[in-house]
Each structure stands twice: as structure tokens, then as C-alpha cells.
Structure 1
Amino acid sequence: MKMTGLCTNLVLVAFISASVADVGDFTPCLQFFYKSWPPKGLAGTPICQRYNNMYQFATLYSRPRRSAWFSAYLYSVPTGKRPKASWKYEPQLAYPSADGNMVPFLPGPVDMNIVESQAVSLDYINSTFSRGHLNPSLHHQTYQCRSATFTLTNVVPQKRWSNDGPWEVLELTVNKTMATYCLGEAYIVTGIMPYQKEEHWMKNRVAVPEYLWSAYCCPNYNQSIPDRLKDAFPTFAAIGRNDPNSTEEIVPIDKTAKKEYRGYDVKQMSLDSLEMYLKDRFNTVISVFNEQCG
């Protein structure tokens, strides 16, 4: 099996000016999108996520929500243990002329320009939410690439019972499916759906999503896949609940699930179905992959 897309093969930017703009334009990191084509239909601030002078993945960020709309990345088979969380921020959201590399939070007070421009660690401390990765550490091979996912511009407020329950099961399922059957590049986009009528906020600062969604595109895959996975290639998608009190119109509740995970269900579906739900929620056409990964 051949799986490309490792972080060590990504674009090195060490010889580019330290003040290169990694916020506001996806051009430097189009390699994370199928056919260099970012999802269409959502408005926000593009971030080419850079760590140790390497572009690691791409995020469409919402400044007013202090939260991401989606993160896009190339899957690679993970190795080793999960890195210890060292949370980082995006300096160019606060200072456009700053170095484009993500920066670890240091002990002590945080610069107020950073606090105003994005979520900070204090937002999540003593809240009822966990830091929910959109681009998960689990879906990457190298230590550097896995470490790069620990930036608050790549996470959203996610209930722990979703993050550690059905949503984690989905990430593990995608991991196993991609590692076993995808033969070339595997492109993944994971994003959120806001509440339909009014925003929900964490500490009156960070917008809370009602649902998370994810979709993958694997154009080159093993043709001898089992019948149960025939509909899982070249694309597949899912939507997960982040609120047990949401209606069941999008994702039904499994009444037989363990009590702590009940109401945080994940529904797997076709890319067509996902885009239908996104259109309904955002009231505009959302296209995740170029020609639906055709």
C-alpha cells in the first residue's frame, strides 16, 4: 500500500520571508485540497497552518466566532504515541506582519491583541467543553505533523462525550479505512454546522457548533474492497451531534447507546447527503471537493 501526503513531503518555507502572509490566502497551501480546490460556499479567513517552517494543513477561520469553519488536510497512516498537548495560537490573526509559524502559549498573561483575535486556552479552562480537533492528531504519521494539530485555530468547543465517544469512533473508523484501502492521496475536510436560529457561546467569546461534519476523498483505492465498503469510496461523509438536546431531523439518537454517549450520535452518509444538509443549514450551496472527488 502506498500512502503519500506525509508532513515531511510538504512545502518547506524556511527560505521565505518570516513575514509571509499565511493568513488571508490559501494559495501557499493548496496541496491540502483535492485538485488544489478549497471547498466553496463558506466565507471566512483562510489560514495556511505553518509549524517549524512547514505548511501542515489549511483552516478556514471565523474571526467573529473565534472558531474554525473547517480544516483540510492530507491523511497519512499514524505512528507512535499521541504527542503531549502543547497548545498554540496563530500570531498573524493578531499581527498581520508577524511570523507565520504557529506559536505555543506561554505561562502568564496573554497579549490582549491575541485574546481579541482568537480563542485562547483560558476560554476552555473550567468550561463544559473540550478542545475538539477538526484535523485530528490521529490522522498523521510524523511527530511534527501530529504536534501541529494542537493549535486553537484547529479546534472547536466540543462536548467531551462527543469528542471521547462517537466522534472518536468515527475518526478511528476513517483511520482504519484509509490505511487499509486508500492507495494514494487521501484528502479530508472536517468542519462544523452552527446553530440554526441563534449562536451558542462558550464564555461569551467562542461560538459553539451544533454539529460537526467530516468528509474524505480517496480517488485511488483498492478495487477489492469488501461489499460493506462499496459505498465508502471514493468519498464518504458523516455528521455528528454536539448537543444532546438537538432535534433528530439530521442525526437520530440511538436510544440503546451508553447513557453518557446518548445524544452525541454520528450518522455516516454520502457526500451528496452531507452537502444537502450543509446547504439547508447555511442557506447556500456548499461544495466540499472538486467535482465531488470525481
Structure 2
Amino acid sequence: MSQRKMLQFSTGALLLLLPWFGGLVLGEISDDFSQCLDFFYNETPPNGIPAAGYQPICQRYKNRYHFASLYNRQHRAPLYSAYILSTADGKRPNNTWKYEPQLAFSRASPEMRSFYGNPPDQNVIESQAVLQDYKNSGYTKGHLNPSMHQKTMEDREATFTLTNIVPQRAGSNAGPWNGLEKEVLGKFKAYCNGSMYVITGALPYVTERRINNRVSVPEYMWSAYCCPSYSSSLPKSMKNFFPTYAAVGRNDPNSGEEIVPVNVKVKASVRGYDVRRMSLETLEGILAQRLGIRISLFHGQCQ
């Protein structure tokens, strides 16, 4: 069985993660990302994540796939979203939030659907996050695939689905994490000659926390990119950032500093939301330690 057709199943890792995972949802969207492999480097999703407990979603909007997300229905949040980065045309869209009908009904439309004018029924509420979960929660809706990393208006609108969202503190979302997103975009424009494949995800607390007793809150955000074709005349300062680059950002100012240290000299509004830049290998080591599984984000380490 090829990596393209199935996420590798690891029995030992699954036993470690059973408290974390729920049942696999086998909707019509995708059970193995086969409809949207183009969003992964070498058409290969991350290796090492047990299939049980997660729903691969090929994010479809206006009859086209725009990116991919690996969703945990029990925790009503994605583990990651994978996409190809582009330079945005125009401003951030004023767009309505959406949900995934097939998480609630396997035979529903494969198109994401707007909450506006469509109050979610109980099956939708049970299967995924809804807008009410975020109301007065103290958390913003944090994009994994950010609107600024997508080109066309439709591409950007497609990112406004709650299956691409995790609860993120405003100090992170509008602060250092936003700075990282702009930094990655800048490196893409300046040095990447071809496609840049990005995977951005959430790292849960060791002891899980939720908003509204429903949606899992990440303790950290993480992101990595793969740019296999890049400028042959990189300045020395950029040598370590290609072909891969990664980062982990704090989503809790009170977390320990073993993964991401705190700079106490920054302004109070963003203090404790630091972002640590690192190699792809270092990020994969952190994910392995916290999730109990060995993960390879990019096939062949993007070589």
C-alpha cells in the first residue's frame, strides 16, 4: 500500500494516542487525500500519523480544491493544514465562516458551506466546531492556512472554514505568529523559484484544554515549509532557511520555556507569545516527543 493511498498506520503509536483520537470519519471528501495530493511535496502527505482518529479533508470551495486539512472530529480541530503558498491578490476578504457538511452527513455536498443563513443542525454541532464555540471564549479564530498565503479571492475565501481554524490567543494571532507568516511570505518572494509547500499545525496540551468544553486548544502552533527549487545565490544569512525551515510559536504566555523561551523585553501585549525558528528536524523531534509518534512532514526531507 503506497503512501499516496494511505497514511501510514502505526499500532504502537495508536496505543499511545488513543485518549487523543476519536473514530475515523469516512466521508465522501477523501479517506486518504487522494483527491488533493498536489498540496503536498512529491504528492506525499506527512508520514507516521495513524489513520485512525483523523479525517483527511480536501478543502473544496466553488467546485475546486484549495488546500488540505487533517481533522480530528472528537476534538473539533485540525491537526494541520497543507497548502501551496502564493502571493495574495488584493486585501483580506470580508467573507463568511464555513463548515464541512460531510463531517455531519457522509452523503452531503462535498462543498464547504457558509454558516450565514444556514443555522447548523445538531449533527453539524456534534461533528465539528461552530461559531458559538468561539463566542466569548477569549480566543480568536486562528487560521492554519492563512488568507495572506493564498492568491485569488476564491483561494482566500476558502481559508475561512472552521476546519482550518484553531483557538488562538490574540497576542499570538495578531503578534509574533502573524510576523512569522509575513516572514515566510517574504522568503518565498525573494528566494523560492518554484512551489513552496507549507504545513501548519497545532500542538495540544499534555493535559487537554478546550473552549466551550468542545474545541481543543493548542498550547503551541507550528509550521514548516519545503522549497525544493530556490535561488542559487542565497546570501549567507539565508543558507539555513532552504530548502526547509520551521518554527514553533507559543499560544499560552504561562507555558513552560522548554520548547519556546520567552523574551521578557518585548512589549506586554505580545510577551509570552514568542516564536522560535528552527530546523525541520528539530520541529519533527518536538512533534515526536509531544505526540508520541515519529513524523516526517516532507517526503525525503524535501531533498
What's the TM-score once normalised by structure 1's chain length? 0.91
From 83, 106, 121, the equivalent of 2:93 is: 83
From 220, 223, 237, the equivalent of 2:232 is: 223
Identity %: 53
From 246, 252, 276, the equivalent of 2:285 is: 276
Q: 5 Å matches for 1:121-160? A: 121-160=131-170
Q: Is the 8 A contact 2:247 2:283 kept in 1?
A: yes
In the alignment, what sits opposite 1:28? Answer: 35
Cα drift, residue 223 of structure 1: 1.3
Cα drift, residue 24 of structure 1: 2.6
Cα drift, residue 78 of structure 1: 1.3
Q: 5 Å matches for 1:1-294? A: 21-43=28-50, 44-107=54-117, 109-196=119-206, 198-294=207-303
Q: Report the aligned-residue RMSD.
A: 1.1
Cα drift, residue 282 of structure 1: 0.7
**Which deviations, in whole Å up to 9, do the C-alpha atoms of 1:218-261 show, x marking residues without a partner?**
00001112211110000000000001111000000001111010
**Which deviations, in whole Å up to 9, do the C-alpha atoms of 1:138-176 show, x marking residues without a partner?**
001100000000000000000010000000000000011
Aligned residue type for 2:228: P
What's the TM-score once normalised by structure 2's chain length? 0.89
Counterparts of 1:107 and 1:255 in 2: how far apart (Å)? 46
Cα drift, residue 123 of structure 1: 0.6
Aligned residue type for 1:190: T
Q: Is the 8 A contact 1:25 1:48 kept in 2?
A: no
Counterparts of 1:188 and 1:108 in 2: how far apart (Å)? 32
Counterparts of 2:199 and 2:126 in 1: how far apart (Å)? 27
Q: Is the 8 A contact 1:23 1:93 kept in 2?
A: no
Aligned residue type for 1:37: T
Cα drift, residue 108 of structure 1: 6.7
Q: Secondary structure at the match of 2:88?
A: coil
Cα drift, residue 107 of structure 1: 4.0
Structure 1: any 5+ residue segments left out of the alignment? 1-19
Q: Is the 8 A contact 1:243 1:263 kept in 2?
A: yes
Cα drift, residue 127 of structure 1: 1.1
Cα drift, residue 42 of structure 1: 2.4
Structure 2: any 5+ residue segments left out of the alignment? 1-26
Aligned residue type for 2:191: Y
- Residues 108/144 of structure 1: CA separation in 2 closer, same or farther (3 Å cut): closer
Q: Is the 8 A contact 2:96 2:116 kept in 1?
A: no
The runs of at least 4 aligned residues of structure 1 exceeding 3 Å deviation read none
- Residues 35/179 of structure 1: CA separation in 2 closer, same or farther (3 Å cut): same
Aligned residue type for 1:32: F
Counterparts of 2:164 and 2:30 in 1: how far apart (Å)? 14
